[in-house]
A and B are shown apart, each in its own frame.
Chain A
Amino acid sequence: MNMRKLAAGLAGIMMLLASGAAHAGGELQLYNWGNYTNPDLLAKFEKETGIKVTVTDYDSNSTALAKIKAGGHGFDMVVPSASHVKIFIEEGLVIESRPDQMSNFKNVAPEWRNPFFDPGRRYSVPWQWGTVGMVVDTDVYKGDINTSAIVFDPPAELVGKINIAPEMLDIMNTAMMYVGSEPCSTDKAALKKARDVLVAAKPKWLSMDYGLVEKMPRGDYAAAIYWNGAAMRARLAKSSIRYGYPREGYTVWMDNAMVLKDAKNVENAKLFQNFVMDPENAALISSFAKYANGISGSEKFMPEEMATAPEVIVPDEFKSMGVFPPACSKEANDYYTAIWTELTK
């Protein structure tokens, strides 16, 4: 009993010390993907509100989820992908901050106002969104690039010159669509087909790695399945590089900013949510990380090269082929993991 009292007393003192050290002008602890937050955006926010934002990085949705779930992390906001937004909501890790009632909500593009992962946008605001498609050097291969066959059944010119993004969910989902099924399906016949396609294709790949923006222009490989923003950067470095939207179906993703349940600076976090829905501020996000943001009117604040990029603006003819994968069920995820393990053993 005494021990417990002592511990509580000590904890109290420690907390006092800790809070005394905090910023008086208000602060915000943002937990975001690495190299994803424009410092100018934070500077602008601090100038307007006096709130100092500290960014800490993560490198995968699962790391972020694991840390937030464990608790005691000290973060106020997190920016998970759509596939994980639902998990954060279901597990009760975020608060209903009601972005839909914020003054800047009017700027959110109509198609992003009622996403399936957060109906009515009661929790999350758009950060950035993009697609996963084919990146091809047209100097090497001149045929049709709007098909996943580029990586799953590559033409002779590309054999041994292919890179696969090391992201299990994106690759498995694309493969499932390639064999005529859908993301996160538990249809065994389709899973078997997808596995066979992947296992047969693997010897024709060079690597499963990040770093396309640098490696592709310098000619390490000539085709890849990768994210669209990186594809645009690669094209700017080497003009023969093109981005293809697989007609068998490609995946669309979106990262969304949410306020955590154990946040210490809830009001500041809400202010920040509203702040990033302003077109000018959203444009700052995009011009740094090179993906679209889902805020109408932000295009005119973006650099010229982005506002017209075919990698960022999905051409009308391909719009219907984009699929937003849900959070996979445990069963589907287990199948995916088993196939992925077999593929990379």
Chain B
Amino acid sequence: MNILSMKPKTFSLRYQPGFTIIALACFFMLYAPIVTLVIYSFNAGKYISIWEGFSLQWYVSAWNNEIVQDATIRSLVLALQASLYSTVLATMAALGTTRIRPFRGLTAIYAMINQPLMVPEIVTAVALLILFAMIKVATGVQGLFYLVAAHTAFCIPFAYLPIRARLEGMDLTLETAAADLYATPWMTFRRVTLPLMWPGIIAGAMLAFVISLDDIVITEFVKSAGQETLPTYMLGQLRRIITPEINAISTVLLAISLLVVSFFFVVSHKRD
């Protein structure tokens, strides 16, 4: 409650009226559906919306469901890889498209980087299905590689935009100063540019991760035999019936993500 009553006693530069309330309302809005989702994961009944008492049966059934476990792990592995690769590529591209006077071809680069955003997923999905099928038939090579490539590609713009937003108009004087002090370009990058970019990179990587974790349509078309991910598994369920088992898995994923948050929290506090 004391955040709400945080009226500026002394004059605050940062204060804007109503912003804190809207922000907290936003967080409330983000979490309200999640709370219902978590509640229904403990439902004794068969449905995700008719409450029939408390039970842990869906956790047990998810725990025993090999398909679900496989799919969940595959989703996480895929998202980790895709977000890692796409963030590295996007960071390089962001460095390559900022801090310089507009040069010829820059617009084309922008267009290309943002292109996955501009096409509905189903289109990319069908196109990738055709292309990858040709490669698979020609080489006989199967594997998660195709999904990783597809996810990396469509995650690049999501990682790129926050990083670029960060870099744009970044104070160049520090870099120049470092160069003047005979720092090698690599040293300048490591010690000056990268730390300044860091918040953008974190934001980009997080976006890429959740975007990959969320993808349904492209995965559905690109996946080969035995490459079910959690979203495609759920898509299959949608037609028949969705049980609270899905809620249970989601709750576990949420718990994991909260653990990660706490971990970061502890680490960042230790450093201070």
Contacts and interface: CB of A to CB of B under 8 A. Distances in A.
- Within 8 Å by CB, do A and B touch in the complex? yes
B238 interface: yes
A70 B129 contact: yes
A54 interface: yes
A57 B242 contact: no
A261 interface: no
A221 to B, nearest CB: 14
A63 B140 contact: no
Interface in B130-147: 130, 132-143
A59 B134 CA distance: 23
A73 B133 contact: yes
B225 A33 contact: no
B220 to A, nearest CB: 7
Nearest to A166: B239
Contact of A71 (B48, B136, B237, B238): B136
A214 B244 CA distance: 12
A121 B184 CA distance: 75
Main SS of chain A's interface residues? mixed
A34 B227 contact: no
Contact of A11 (B140, B232, B235): B140
Interface residues of A, number: 38
B241 A72 contact: no
B258 interface: no
A330 B144 CA distance: 36
Contacts of A67: 129, 133, 221
B146 to A, nearest CB: 9
Contacts of B232: 57
B222 to A, nearest CB: 9
B236 A29 contact: no
A307 interface: no
B50 interface: yes
Interface string A56-95: 1111000100110011111110000000000000000000
B189 interface: no
A57 B237 CA distance: 9
A14 B50 contact: no
A66 B129 contact: yes
A225 interface: no
A34 B238 contact: yes
B262 interface: no
Contacts of A56: 223-228
B115 interface: no
Given A15-B140, A57-B235, A214 B225 contact: no
Interface string B206-234: 00000000000000110111111000110
B8 to A, nearest CB: 48
Contact of A70 (B130, B237, B239, B242): B130
A63 B221 contact: yes
Interface string A209-236: 0110110011000000000001001000
A125 interface: no
A180 B49 CA distance: 40
Interface string B21-58: 00000000000000000000000000111100000000
Interface of A: 7, 10-11, 14-15, 18, 29, 31, 33-36, 39, 54-59, 63, 66-67, 70-76, 210-211, 213-214, 217-218, 230, 233, 289
16 contacts: A15-B141, A18-B143, A29-B225, A31-B225, A33-B236, A33-B239, A34-B235, A55-B67, A57-B232, A59-B220, A70-B130, A210-B239, A214-B47, A214-B50, A214-B241, A214-B242
Interface of B: 47-50, 65-67, 126, 129-130, 132-143, 220-221, 223-228, 232-233, 235-242
Given A29-B225, A34-B239, 11 more contacts: A11-B140, A31-B225, A33-B240, A36-B240, A66-B126, A67-B221, A70-B133, A72-B137, A72-B142, A72-B224, A214-B241
